[in-house]
């Protein structure tokens, strides 16, 4: 009896901590994320940066982050922190919510991976490979990738419904059966493969930069052109800072998404186990905590950029100057 009482008290404490986290931390994270995404969009659309293909990927990345904040993080904050879940009362809203959450949760890291590949092109020692880093190629990749993922996740608009778990307890989620199994395995594969791809691309870019410095001995990176008419080349100062911004985004994303990937793998391994009511409640709490952690990278990109990039700080200061805001010349 004492063990059952202790378990109940532990679960109650965990539920309270989860609720307060979303009540207090949710709105703060959303505010930080909204300001950060808007500032990122303002800076990356400035003339000095928008001509760079990597900036185009960053613009798409921040648009996806902004939409994720208001499709997923807002819904989680309301449902977990304030017990407000509109999606359990309307099937159309339920399906739209699942679709947008699934879509933007995929598009955001997808754009980050595209930006990583672009940085691999830029830092390559092969001239033909470097020529692939173009604005036209960036627009094409974003367009094709967005259309593909939008169509791929359209199953959420059809194969999802509102389930009754208990009296007065409802859940908006995917249909049980084969479709739910598919979604579960897809989530595990997506989270793990995304982390691996971002880490691989980031390390590849670092390796290319070291090769440039070792083979060419480049010391002056103040211009955006190649350093000589021969085969030597270098990334411009802005290109290098874009690489540093990207690497920090990858590190943050990997650090905060890792826990959710582990949790999803645990769920798949234990899906056929018989679980007690207490264990199910604890797993739901852990899942919500992991989702909160996984939402942090969508809100912090701007502040990471301000830390690592002198160019970003300069462009942000210039874009937010009073003269610029009020069009004073």
**Can you list the domains of the chain with their CATH numbers?**
2-222+233-325 (1.20.1070.10)
> What local confidence, expressed as pLDDT, does residue 255 receive?
87
> What local confidence, expressed as pLDDT, does residue 100 receive?
96
Asked if 119 and 205 touch (Cβ cutoff 8 Å), the reply is yes
Pairing relation of β-strands 169-174 and 160-166? Answer: antiparallel
Q: Please list, residue by residue across 34-53, b when 16 or more beta carbons sit within 10 angstroms of its beta carbon and e when fewer do.
A: eebbebbbbbbebeebeebb
Instruction: Indicate the burial class of 95 (C-beta count within 10 angstroms; 0-12, 13-18, 19 or more).
Output: buried
DSSP 8-state assignment for residue 320: T
pTM (2 decimals)?
0.87
> What local confidence, expressed as pLDDT, does residue 90 receive?
93
> What local confidence, expressed as pLDDT, does residue 217 receive?
52
> What local confidence, expressed as pLDDT, does residue 268 receive?
82
Asked if 65 and 301 touch (Cβ cutoff 8 Å), the reply is yes
Which residue in 140, 124, 129, 115 sits closest to 44, CA to CA? Answer: 115
Mark the ranges of the chain whose per-residue pLDDT is less than 70: 1-4, 213-236, 322-329
The separation between CA 177 and the C-alpha centre of its own chain, rounded to angstroms, equals 29
């Amino acid at each position: 009896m004492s063990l059952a009482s202790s378990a109940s008290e532990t679960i109650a404490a965990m539920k309270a901590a989860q609720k307060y986290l979303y009540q207090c931390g949710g709105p703060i994270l959303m505010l930080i994320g909204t300001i950060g995404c808007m500032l990122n969009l303002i800076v990356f659309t400035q003339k000095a940066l928008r001509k760079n293909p990597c900036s185009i990927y960053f613009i798409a990345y921040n648009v996806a982050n902004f939409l994720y904040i208001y499709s997923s993080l807002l819904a989680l904050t309301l449902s977990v922190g304030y017990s407000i879940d509109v999606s359990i009362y309307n099937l159309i809203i339920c399906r739209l919510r699942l679709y947008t959450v699934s879509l933007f949760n995929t598009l955001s890291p997808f754009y980050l991976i595209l930006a990583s590949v672009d940085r691999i092109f830029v830092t390559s020692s092969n001239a033909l490979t470097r020529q692939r880093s173009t604005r036209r190629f960036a627009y094409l990749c974003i367009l094709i990738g967005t259309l593909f993922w939008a169509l791929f996740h359209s199953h959420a608009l059809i194969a999802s419904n509102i389930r009754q778990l208990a009296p007065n307890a409802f859940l908006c989620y995917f249909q049980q059966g084969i479709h739910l199994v598919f979604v579960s395995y897809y989530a595990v594969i997506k989270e793990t493969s995304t982390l691996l791809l971002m880490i691989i691309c980031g390390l590849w870019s670092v390796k290319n930069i070291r090769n440039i410095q070792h083979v060419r001995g480049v010391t002056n990176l103040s211009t955006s052109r190649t350093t000589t008419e021969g085969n030597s080349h270098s990334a411009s100062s802005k290109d290098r800072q874009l690489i540093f911004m990207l690497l920090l985004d990858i590190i943050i994303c990997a650090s905060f998404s890792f826990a959710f990937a582990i949790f999803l793998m645990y769920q798949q391994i234990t899906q056929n186990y018989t679980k007690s009511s207490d264990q199910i409640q604890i797993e739901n709490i852990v899942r919500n905590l992991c989702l909160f952690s996984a939402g942090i990278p969508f809100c912090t990109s701007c502040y990471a950029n301000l830390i690592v990039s002198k160019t970003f700080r300069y462009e942000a200061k210039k874009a937010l100057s009073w003269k610029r805001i009020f069009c004073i010349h």
